[in-house]
Amino acid sequence: MSAQSEAVRRLSVLDIAKLYADGVRIATITAYDYPTAGLVDQAGIPLILVGDSLAQVMLGYDTTVRVTMEEMLHHAKAVVRGAKRALIVADMPFLSYTTPEDAVANAGRFLREAGVQAVKIEGGVRSARVIEALLRAGIPVMGHIGLTPQAINTLGKVRVQGKNREQARALLADALAVQEAGAFSIVLELVPGQLAQAITDRLRIPTIGIGAGAGCSGQIQVITDTLGLGDWAPKHARPYADLHGTILDAISRYKADVEAGAFPAAAETVLMDPAVLDEVLGRGHADRADRAFGTDADIPVGGIPLDRDL
């Protein structure tokens, strides 16, 4: 083990509980790949979600329903390699936790094969049995209520949840059920601010809000929204960068440079001893054709046929 890997300790659910107990608002963000996870870690984010939003923001699917266990595992592995300190939660994809048995088998793959420390599952009262089974198997769980995107086909469309009396009561019951089942935290997605605050006040586990106002114990955002990478972002997101513009500009300038012959330049080119190449090509010094590289600039280009008998 290197000195560096010894120095970095992976956070656990107990560390998240301590942040919550200390009143620290828990900044959480999604990540899906190695380099971004490394940057998120460097920024000191304690909790990373490999969200199934992967489906839309990285893989180009129309809904999260489409993403598979194998795709989630592939990205979770990269995130674990990239982030050495943050607690990493993997989102259980659609139909991977329909029964407690399926849930334990699939969540076990996330811990064993990818090396994440916890999983997230959608649903409140309806998911309590599954959460309990995961806990019994030693797998920490983050709950997720409010808008649950995997249910998009029954919900009809993405909209705020809990605005009317019945929905608000149901959400409170969902939050309590997730807590009593043993989850270490719970995502509240697209919930009115006052209701999210009321739920937060009634729980002893941290609520992590997205589109749920400032009254939650922490916040989570989809990283492409925060970085301004997509061509659209939800109303609750705040872009802290314009990576869409930055990347587009960089790639356009690269293309222009290649087309103009301005990339690569001498500083970006490796040269070899011209005498070695002369020998390989069986040509004399006078035939040398390396003027483009700035050496022997006054030597005329030789017309050596490439199929010359060496």
List residues binding ligand KIV (CB under 6 A).
Answer: 30, 49, 51-53, 91, 144, 187, 189, 210, 220, 222
CB of 51 to ligand KIV, least distance (A): 2
User: Which of 51/82 has CB closer to ligand KIV?
Assistant: 51
Q: Are 110 and 79 in contact (CB under 8 A)?
A: no
CA distances from 32 to 37, 223, 271 (A): 7, 9, 38
CB of 248 to ligand KIV, least distance (A): 24
Question: What is the full DSSP assignment across 3-24?
Answer: HHHHHPPPP-HHHHHHHHHTT-
Structure tokens at 2: 């290197």
Is 259 one of the catalytic residues?
no
Question: Which residue's CB comes closest to ligand KIV?
Answer: 51
Q: Is 146 exposed, middle or buried (0-12, 13-18, 19+ CB in 10 A)?
A: buried
Q: Which residue has the tokens 């595992």?
A: 73
**Residues 126, 236: Cα–Cα separation, whole Å:** 27
CB of 307 to ligand KIV, least distance (A): 58
**Which phi and psi (to 5°) does residue 294 adopt?**
85, 5
- Which residue among 70, 180, 189, 259 is the active-site one? 189
User: Which of 82/278 has CB closer to ligand KIV?
Assistant: 82
CB of 126 to ligand KIV, least distance (A): 17
**Residues 296, 304: Cα–Cα separation, whole Å:** 17
Structure tokens at 224: 């492409």
CB of 154 to ligand KIV, least distance (A): 17
Q: Are 142 and 120 in contact (CB under 8 A)?
A: yes
User: Among all residues, which ones are annotated catalytic?
Assistant: 189
